[in-house]
Chain A
Amino acid sequence: MSEDRIPDTPIFDRARQQRGYRLNKMAMGLGKPENRAAFKADERAYLDRFCLTEEEIGAVMRRDWREMVRLGGNVFYILKISAIDPARMTEIGAHQAGMDHETFLRERLGKV
């Protein structure tokens, strides 16, 4: 994967996009209610439809947002997982920043 030219800032370039294609395709599927039902009923079986690696499956099942992004997941796709297993955008942000939610809101977003 190419080096980030701005530190800690993944650019969704060719390398990252190709790395994450299947992961993002899996997540894109969750825009359809029947796929959300399948994900809820048997998450592993739904994930197995997309030829994901064990590493990718593990990241999804642990809701490890930072790892999903590292593996080429793009937030606009993987965010659909949070529609099924609710997580706020700020929680997903805090996880990637390596901060607890309160600290993230205060230090990054200036919330008091």
Chain B
Amino acid sequence: MAKLIGGLGSSHVPSIGAALDKGLSQNADWKPFFDGTVAGQDWVKAHKPDVAVVVFNDHGNAFFLDKVPTFAVGCAERYEPIDEGWGPRAIPAFEGHAAFGWHLADSLVENRFDPMIVQEIEVDHGMQVPMELFFGRPETAWPVKVVPLFVNVIQYPIPLPARCYELGHALRKAIESFPGDERFVVIGTGGLSHQLQGARAGFINPEADREFLVDIAANPAKLAALTRQDYVRLYGSEGAEMMMWLVMRGAMDEAVRVHHTHYHVPASMTGAAMMVLENVAG
């Protein structure tokens, strides 16, 4: 059967992608952030996953308000980068893993999660940026297949943090019941604290962010027990998306080893983080 070899966490701030596009990653503003991502890239190079399940939200690019799936599973063979208004970014398309996508949909439904099934969709910075941070920007092809797992964190009702954590448990069952010997990582994306709307725009909470990075490894049940309002209060209205890290964390064992944590603030208007977790049991 397939094996989950690591849980990865990453911000997906669009300005990180823009900094890469403009060749700014080594300037004074951005170098401290990008320097802290090298250890994550090194881990990926050393452990050579075959498949990345990427948990993220679309930002009003592929989904409009006419159809808002709470959870959606990508079952396509290929995902093109989407035009977010500036034209599609010059990165290779992602090779999908339709067989696992369908298996995941089957397995989730059997475990009482009922996702939307998506066979044609383009992907935005929510998936692009974490992939670039962990895998670098390839010339022609990404070194892994991807399975997008979309979570609605924009249009209320957004899911409960506890539900995201439980989704992670179900995702783990799907991986471990998938025939073959492919090596999987799950990437939880988003955050950390930021607020882009209202007079509280620009709210960031570095102290709460650092605490989140400790708790996500050591005490995820605490983060899963918080309300959506707690997330908005602690991490900002857009920072509430940090609950998507709980999907990744829920897929991992209770006992994890923190291989790498990196935090830098601000990236644009956001606390930016990267994390690598391994199961203690291997």
Residue positions of A touching B, CB distance < 8 A: 4-14, 17, 21, 24-25, 27-28, 30-33, 36, 66, 69, 74-77, 79-80, 82-84, 89-90, 92-94, 96-98, 104, 107-111
9 A-B pairs whose Cβ atoms sit less than 8 Å apart in the complex? A5-B229, A6-B232, A9-B195, A24-B65, A31-B85, A69-B197, A80-B84, A90-B268, A109-B204
Assuming A8-B199, A109-B202, what are 12 further A-B pairs, CB within 8 angstroms?
A5-B229, A12-B154, A25-B64, A33-B87, A36-B85, A77-B60, A83-B85, A90-B268, A92-B201, A96-B199, A97-B202, A109-B204
* A99 → chain B closest CB, angstroms: 8
Contact check, B156 vs A8: say whether CB atoms are below 8 A apart.
no
**Distance in Å from the Cβ of B210 to the closest Cβ of chain A?**
14
Whether B59 and A11, one on each chain, are in contact in the complex, defined by CB atoms closer than 8 angstroms, is: no
Closest-CB distance, A31 to chain B (whole angstroms): 5
> Bound state CA distance, A94 and B85, in angstroms?
22
Chain A hits for B266, CB < 8 A: 109-111
> CA of A62 to CA of B204 in the docked complex: distance in angstroms?
28
A94 to B200, CA, bound (A): 10
3 cross-chain pairs, A with B, having the tightest CB-CB distances, nearest first: A108-B202, A83-B85, A8-B199
Closest-CB distance, B24 to chain A (whole angstroms): 14
Q: Please report the C-alpha to C-alpha distance between residue A108 and residue B236 in the assembled complex, in whole angstroms.
A: 12
Residue positions of B touching A, CB distance < 8 A = 15, 59-61, 64-65, 82-87, 154-156, 195-204, 229, 232-233, 236-238, 265-266, 268-269
Measured CB to CB, the closest approach of chain A to B56, in angstroms, equals: 13
CB distance from B146 to the nearest CB of A (A): 21
Inside 8 A of B202's CB, which chain A residues have their CB?
Answer: 90, 93-94, 97, 104, 107-109
In the complex the two chains form, is B156's CB within 8 Å of A13's CB?
Answer: yes
B-side contacts of A107, CB under 8 Å: 202
Residues of B near A98 (CB, < 8 A) are 199
Separation of A92 and B201 alpha carbons in the complex (Å): 9
A9 touching B232 by the CB < 8 A rule? yes
B237 cross-chain contacts in A, Cβ below 8 A: 6, 9-11
Taking CB atoms, residues of chain A closer than 8 Å to B64 are 24-25, 28
Give the Cβ gap from B196 to chain A, nearest Cβ, in Å: 5
A8: contacting residue among B15, B60, B84, B200, CB under 8 A: B200
Chain B residue numbers with a CB within 8 Å of A110 are 204, 265-266
Q: Chain A residues with Cβ under 8 A from B82's Cβ?
A: 31
Residues of B within 8 Å of A17, CB to CB, are 65, 155-156
A89 to B267, CA, bound (A): 11
- Whether A69 and B198, one on each chain, are in contact in the complex, defined by CB atoms closer than 8 angstroms, is yes
* CB contact between B60 and one of A4, A14, A76 (< 8 Å): that residue: A76
> Which B residues lie within 8 Å of A31 (CB)?
61, 82-85
